[in-house]
Amino acid sequence: MKKEVKKPVLAVGPFHPLQEEMEFFQLTLDGEKVTDIDVRLSYNHRGIEKISETLQFDQIPYLISRICGICSASHPLAYVQAVEELAGIKPPPRALYVRTIINELERIHSHLLWVGLGGHFIGYDTVFMWAWKYREPVLDLLEEITGNRNNYGNVRVGGCREDVPNELIPKILKELDEIEKKTEMLTKAVLDDPVLHARLKGVGILKKEDAIRYAVTGPTARGSGVDIDVRRDDPYAAYGELDWKVIVQQEGDVFAKAVVRLLETFESIKIVRQALKKLPDGPITAEVREIPPGEAVGHAEAPRGETFHYVRSDGGNRPIRHKVRAPSYVNVPSFKASCIGQDIADVTLTLAAVDPCYSCTERLAVVDRCNNITHTYETILQLSRQKTTKIMKELGVQGLKMEDLRIG
């Protein structure tokens, strides 16, 4: 009979919320390399699509912005775009710009969050603290505009709920300047740090053909040379009227994905600046009568990739079917292609590079069949950090410190 031995739990850090028991990803090891992965969803399944059928069209944005905390602007946007397409409603121009501004501010804080997490997984806790500290001003701005740091509830069928007051614009621009300076510092530090090069390059490679077979989207796809971005391909909100670049890298490794996210943050800052400058006057909501029978799709580029919604109506005031597809749903399975053959020490990083919901990354367990050991998440995290320390020793450098992240 197989005897399962749990490795002793190592107390990790001052901070990370960890879950011991809830295995979500189970990886199988052969020696030091991953050979297979099994995934069990269900812990977060709340039956949202069925709940949607019990709500009216204008109540649904509140439900679906709570699908995922960090994509909480993109889900309602994709949904209302579907309903507006179904009903032939055109939101007024100012509403389109406000939607763009909110969504790009969300992208900025989401990417900074990711950078912090990535830093944590490899043992760069100063990067974590720093990135999350400089995320706060963005959250404060969002709170000033919409009333909440997350779950903005700002999008409605036909337009927006809260406007960006013109008096607030100088403050937003000033904050963006600060954030840009900080992000420049961080980007330069990441791109120049030899330890990060050694730690992240060549790790967790997702090849382009796998990226296509797994139909990944967002930075996960763009880091593997797949040039797709819903904002450019099927323009919505005000993206078609603004000047910005889609960032693509070819290597497909964790480093490439980090570069995509960092450079995208600059593009987002650019977009918000332009949107504020060109913000047209006028109302922020159009009149909505009934939603006629029919069906439509709506998609938006969330920080993680494409959110996709399908809505079908029979003319009543509730949808008869509402399909929701979050970007992580297509990105996370690609973990199978990018993780097989990886070292156990690189597993958290590879998964984090796909940028699933934060809680998903915690639910990782690795089964070592040969030695009958189950490694819990904490152990794997420690291994990742130990690998970074080893690389630092080999290169004879200290790696990023807080002093490096100061403006000159």
- Least CB distance to other proteins at residue 403 (A): 15
- Least CB distance to other proteins at residue 199 (A): 23
- Least CB distance to other proteins at residue 205 (A): 17
Residue numbers 261-300 binding other proteins by CB under 8 A: 295-297, 299
- Confirm or reject binding of residue 150 to other proteins (CB under 8 A): yes
- Least CB distance to other proteins at residue 361 (A): 11
Which residues lie across from 302 on neighbouring strands? 305
Of 31, 165, 170, 235, the one binding other proteins (CB under 8 A) is: 235
Of 7, 161, 270, 312, the one binding other proteins (CB under 8 A) is: 312
Of 184, 234, 241, 343, the one binding other proteins (CB under 8 A) is: 234
Distance CA 190, CA 371 (A): 37
Residue numbers 75-94 binding other proteins by CB under 8 A: 85
- Confirm or reject binding of residue 397 to other proteins (CB under 8 A): no
- Least CB distance to other proteins at residue 15 (A): 5
Residue numbers 202-231 binding other proteins by CB under 8 A: 212-217, 228, 230
- Confirm or reject binding of residue 185 to other proteins (CB under 8 A): no
Per CB under 8 A, the segment of 64-72, 161-169, 170-178, 197-205 that binds other proteins is 64-72
Of 33, 36, 129, 162, the one binding other proteins (CB under 8 A) is: 129
- Least CB distance to other proteins at residue 384 (A): 15
SS3 assignment for the chain: CCCCEECCCCCCCCCCCCCCCCCCEEEEEECCEEEEEEECCCCCCCCHHHHHCCCCCCCHHHHHCCCCHHHCCHHHHHHHHHHHHHHCCCCCHHHHHHHHHHHHHHHHHHHHHHHHHHHHHHCCHHHHHHHHHCCHHHHHHHHHHHCCCCCCCCEECCEECCCCCHHHHHHHHHHHHHHHHHHHHHHHHHHHCHHHHHHHCCCCCCCHHHHHHCCCCCHHHHCCCCCCCHHHHCCCCCHHHCCCCCCCCCCCCHHHHHHHHHHHHHHHHHHHHHHHHHCCCCCCECCCCCCCCEEEEEEEEECCEEEEEEEEECCCCCCCEEEEECHHHHHHHHHHHHHCCCEHHHHHHHHHHHCCCHHHHHCEEEEECCCCEEECHHHHHHHHHHHHHHHHHHHCCCCCCHHHHCCC
Distance CA 389, CA 130 (A): 20
- Confirm or reject binding of residue 63 to other proteins (CB under 8 A): yes
Say how many residues touch other proteins, by CB under 8 A.
Answer: 74
Residue numbers 339-378 binding other proteins by CB under 8 A: 357-359, 362, 378
- Least CB distance to other proteins at residue 11 (A): 6
Integer CA distances (angstroms), 268 to 153, 295, 303, 405, in order: 21, 32, 11, 22
Of 30, 136, 192, 209, the one binding other proteins (CB under 8 A) is: 136
What number of other Cβ atoms are within 10 A of residue 316's Cβ?
12
Q: Please say which residue, 233 or 394, places its beta carbon nearer to other proteins.
A: 233
Distance CA 186, CA 127 (A): 8
- Confirm or reject binding of residue 133 to other proteins (CB under 8 A): yes
Q: Please say which residue, 296 or 391, places its beta carbon nearer to other proteins.
A: 296
- Confirm or reject binding of residue 177 to other proteins (CB under 8 A): no
Residue numbers 104-123 binding other proteins by CB under 8 A: 113
Residue numbers 33-62 binding other proteins by CB under 8 A: 40-51, 54, 62
Of 12, 189, 191, 340, the one binding other proteins (CB under 8 A) is: 12
- Confirm or reject binding of residue 246 to other proteins (CB under 8 A): no
Of 7, 18, 26, 283, the one binding other proteins (CB under 8 A) is: 18
- Least CB distance to other proteins at residue 12 (A): 5
